[in-house]
Amino acid sequence: MKNEDTDLNESILVIGGCRSGKSRHALQLAEKICDVHRVFIATCVPYDEEMKDRVRRHQAERNSSWITVDAPVELAEAIHTYSQSACVILVDCLTLWMSNLLMESPNLDHRIEELTEAISRADCPVVLVSNEVGTGIVPENALARQFRDAVGFANQKIAACADEVIWVVAGIPVKIKG
């Protein structure tokens, strides 16, 4: 059943630092939107045991009302496809998606544009999770700086098209847009 307080195509960006509580908050928001036909789009490719454990912990937080779709690169396409039948989509996370794309090609502008279009055209609410990576030190190597800059640019573009942006700090959500 859909929560009547949510617009049909509302988009929400939940952003924060590592271990800020952003994923948990995004899950709670998505679960308030509706209680059936929920789609979780995972962008993580777990290469090591620590990441595999992290994925298992996130999976354990979701009940059987969720279906999981792996979309490490083709995120815009997954949103377009699944928004036609889902009552809500939760994307976790844009940071890993950007990392996957960066390994493919340094030119990410087109992929970010495709994503913003998919979000704005989605037939259901879309909740997206991303890390704020620009508040730390300047990385010492070129690839890390390129990653930080790419994620920062993507976050700006997604925040601009989102109806609502929530910054999560120490487990406390702070609405900064919408």
41-92 pLDDT tens trace:
999 988 889 988 887 888 888 888 999 999 999 999 999 999 999 999 999 9
Query: Is 1 within the bounds of a domain?
Result: no
Residue-wise pLDDT tens digits, 128-172: 999 999 888 899 999 999 999 999 999 999 999 999 999 999 999
- Cα-to-chain-centroid distance, residue 23: 9
User: Could you confirm whether 25 is annotated as catalytic?
Assistant: no
Q: pTM for this one?
A: 0.91
What CATH number is associated with residue 25? 3.40.50.300
Pull the structure tokens for residue 165: 């942006």
**Catalytic residue chosen out of the listed positions 25, 37, 58, 110:** 58
Long-range contacts of 156-159 (CB under 8 A, 24+ apart): 157/112, 157/113, 157/115, 157/116, 158/13, 158/94, 158/112, 158/115, 158/116, 158/119, 158/128, 158/130, 159/13, 159/15
Within-domain flag for 124: yes
Helix (H, G, I), strand (E, B) or coil at 18: coil
Count the Cβ atoms, other than its own, within 10 Å of residue 84: 10
6: in domain:
no
Q: Is residue 50 part of a domain?
A: yes
> Which residue range forms the structural domain that includes residue 145?
11-177
Whether the CA torsion 139, 144, 176, 90 is positive or negative: it is: negative
Other residues' Cβ atoms within 10 Å of the Cβ of residue 177: 13
**With 0-12 CB in 10 A as exposed, 13-18 as middle and 19+ as buried, what is 36?**
exposed
Quick check: is 166 in a domain? yes
Secondary element (H or E) of residue 1: none
Q: Residue 4 — pLDDT band, cuts 50, 70, 90?
A: very low
The count of structural domains within the chain is: 1
What does the pLDDT average to over 107-115? 93
Q: What is the DSSP string of 19-75?
A: TSSHHHHHHHHHHHHBSSSEEEEE-----SHHHHHHHHHHHHHS-TTEEEEE-SS-H
Residue 104 lies in a domain: yes
| Residue 127 bridge partners (DSSP) | 12, 90
Is 130 inside any structural domain?
yes
